[in-house]
């Protein structure tokens, strides 16, 4: 059975969570990692959760924003080091939309030592994906799709788990109806919820093109989602986030609602 490793659950500017990123672990203990958060903190989280770096061979980056992208520099840094030391078998595949391959290459060229940067194109591969592209990742068919962001080009994906269930990641913006065919009826949906609807005046989610808990729950209900995971949130309610978000969301969503903390595992 697959497990969802939740690395971070915060939005871009949080200080008390790590930025939202996660991995799907298959029964053979291999990981498909999705986003990397904003920096070096990802390495501590992997260590805390006993995720072995040599078991990560597939990473998908949704978009270019700092809170999703910059951790990739550190992942490349540590994996390239292990490759050079004979402590990482095989290759690392990084999937992202076409323009992002250039961005990642440039950032790595400017910030990594030449001996590490040289691994890109050798044993580290930047693999461009396009709207509707299907890839086999680990033992899963994964379909990538453009979420039609108005801020920065961003991709999500949907995949079929070994038990036949569909797992879909919508990225960090509200669902766009153009993506309905990829998202509707998913057994699992990850969706952003910037804050509570009742605190929208305080956090101003709509100005930032984000959703509230109520919005995400109403949306998931209308799409027939069975399990909804909310994250990419503010951190001012940290002590009571789970309780408050659940209280607000439950009246609008009849499926199972998950509001995970950083460094937790959900069985899919
Ligand atoms: Zn974000």
Q: Could you read off the pLDDT of 82-121 as tens digits, one per residue?
A: 999 999 999 999 999 999 999 999 999 999 999 999 999 9
- Digit-coded pLDDT (tens) for 121-135: 999 999 999 999 999
pLDDT at 191: 97
Percent of the chain clearing pLDDT 70 (strictly above) = 100
Quick one: pLDDT at residue 136? 97
Rounded CA separation 219/75 (Å): 34
| Closest C-alpha among 211, 225, 212, 233 to residue 253 | 225
Rounded-to-integer distance, Cα 159 and Cα 250, Å: 26
pLDDT at 150 over 90: no
89 CA distance to ligand 1 centroid (A)?
31
Question: 3-7, 48-52, 140-144, 146-150 — which is least confidently predicted?
Answer: 146-150
Measure 192 CA to ligand 1 centroid, in angstroms.
Answer: 9
* Average model confidence (pLDDT) across the chain: 97
Residue 201 pLDDT more than 90?
yes
The full DSSP string for 131-169 is TT-EEEETTEEEEEEE---SSS--EEEEEE-TTS-EEEE
pLDDT of 37 strictly over 90: yes
CA of 88 to the centre of ligand 1 (A): 30
Structure tokens at 232: 């990419």
Residue of 174, 257, 233, 264 whose CA lies nearest to 20? 233
Rounded distance from Cα 65 to ligand 1 centre (Å) = 7
How many Å lie between the centroid of ligand 1 and the Cα of residue 79? 24
**CB neighbour list of residue 147: distance below 8 Å, 6 or more residues apart:** 154, 155, 156, 170, 171, 173, 175, 176, 179
- What average pLDDT does this structure show over 162-181? 94
Cα–Cα distance for residue pair 241/220, rounded to 1 Å? 19
What's the 90 CA to ligand 1 centre distance in angstroms? 30
- How far, in Å, is the centroid of ligand 1 from the Cα of 67? 5
Model confidence pLDDT, tens digit, residues 218-258? 999 999 999 999 999 999 999 999 999 999 999 999 999 99
Q: How far is the CA of 87 from the centre of ligand 1 (A)?
A: 32
HSE, side-chain direction, 13 A CA sphere, residue 98: 3
Distance 165 CA to ligand 1 centre (A): 26
207 CB-contact burial (10 Å; exposed 0-12 / middle 13-18 / buried 19+): exposed
- The mean pLDDT value for 135-158 works out to 95
């Amino acid at each position: 059975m697959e497990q969802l490793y939740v690395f971070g659950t915060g939005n871009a500017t949080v200080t008390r969570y790590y930025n939202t990123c996660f991995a799907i672990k298959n029964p053979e203990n291999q990981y498909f990692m999705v986003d990397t958060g904003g920096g070096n903190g990802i390495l501590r989280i992997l260590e805390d959760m006993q995720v072995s770096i040599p078991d990560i061979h597939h990473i998908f980056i949704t978009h270019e924003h700092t809170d999703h992208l910059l951790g990739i520099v550190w992942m490349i840094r540590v994996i390239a080091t292990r490759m050079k030391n004979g402590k990482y078998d095989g290759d690392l595949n990084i999937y992202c939309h076409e323009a992002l391959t250039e961005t990642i290459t440039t950032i790595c060229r400017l910030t990594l030592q030449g001996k590490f940067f040289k691994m890109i194109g050798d044993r580290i591969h930047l693999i461009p994906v396009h709207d509707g592209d299907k890839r086999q990742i680990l033992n899963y068919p994964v379909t990538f799709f453009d979420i039609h962001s108005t801020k920065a080009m961003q991709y999500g994906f949907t995949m079929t788990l070994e038990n036949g269930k569909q797992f879909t990641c919508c990225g960090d913006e509200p669902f766009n109806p153009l993506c309905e065919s990829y998202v509707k009826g998913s057994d699992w949906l990850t969706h952003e919820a910037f804050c509570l609807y009742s605190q929208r005046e305080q956090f101003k989610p709509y100005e930032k093109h984000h959703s509230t808990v109520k919005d995400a729950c109403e949306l998931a209900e209308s799409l027939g989602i069975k399990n909804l995971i909310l994250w990419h949130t503010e951190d001012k309610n940290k002590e009571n986030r789970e309780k408050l978000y659940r209280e607000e969301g439950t009246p609008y969503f009849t499926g199972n609602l998950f509001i995970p903390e950083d460094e937790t595992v959900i069985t899919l």
